[in-house]
Amino acid sequence: MKRILFFLIAAVTLNSCGYNTLVEQEENVAKAWAKVETQYQRRSDLIPNLVSTVKGYADFEQETLTQVMEARSKATSINVDTENLNPEAIAQFQQAQSQLSGALSRLLVTVERYPDLKANQQFTQLQTQLEGTENRISVARDRFNEAVGIYNTSTKKFPKNITAGMFDFEEKGYFESKEGSEQAPQVEF
């Protein structure tokens, strides 16, 4: 009887001190992270099709294609475990994804010199899918940051901060803007 009473008191205490809320919020962060990874994987899956379409144009710069595939390989090799969503791990993941974004941007700029390629229906469909995926990535990252914000705030507010400390609920990292992205690019004609 004493054991049952002890477990009931412990359950009520844990619930009232926010333990269950912290668990739920941590799960929401993990779920939001999975959605981010899904969108990045979608982008990664589109790249080989894009590259093979572009390869069909014999005089296309091979170096650009190689850079895209190398950046893709690096980006897909970095995985962040949901148990390790700290700022450093997020920054490392984001750095690899930014390198891939840069390589893709260079590829798309290079394509401008190939009117036949720009007119290729398969290429334009892949480019449209890639643009849509970039939008999905942005939305998924925003939702991830919202989930992290709610979780991190809860771990810092009293009395949940006590529970967070007792049960090792650690702060999660955010996706952050690239340095210099607050400035609009200059366009010259």
Contact 35, 140 (CB under 8 A): yes
Region for residue 168 given its phi and psi (left: phi exceeds 0; alpha: psi -120 to 50; beta: otherwise): left
Mean pLDDT of 152-158: 94
CA distance 183 to 6: 59
Residue 184 confidence (pLDDT) above 80: no
Q: What is the pLDDT of residue 131?
A: 93
Q: What is the pLDDT of residue 46?
A: 92
Q: What is the pLDDT of residue 186?
A: 44
Tell which residue, 56, 90, 55, 95, has the closest CA to residue 75: 95
Q: What is the pLDDT of residue 181?
A: 46
pTM check: above 0.95: no
Return mean pLDDT, the chain. Answer: 85
Contact 59, 111 (CB under 8 A): no
Q: Which long-range contacts (CB under 8 A, 24 or more apart) does 175-184 make?
A: 175/36, 175/90, 175/94, 175/141, 175/144, 175/145, 176/90, 176/91, 176/94, 178/98
Angle of helix 87-111 relative to helix 62-77, nearest 10 degrees, comes to 160
Split at pLDDT 50, 70, 90, the class of 100 is: very high
pLDDT per position as a tens digit, 54-77: 887 756 678 888 889 999 999 999
CA distance 75 to 79: 9
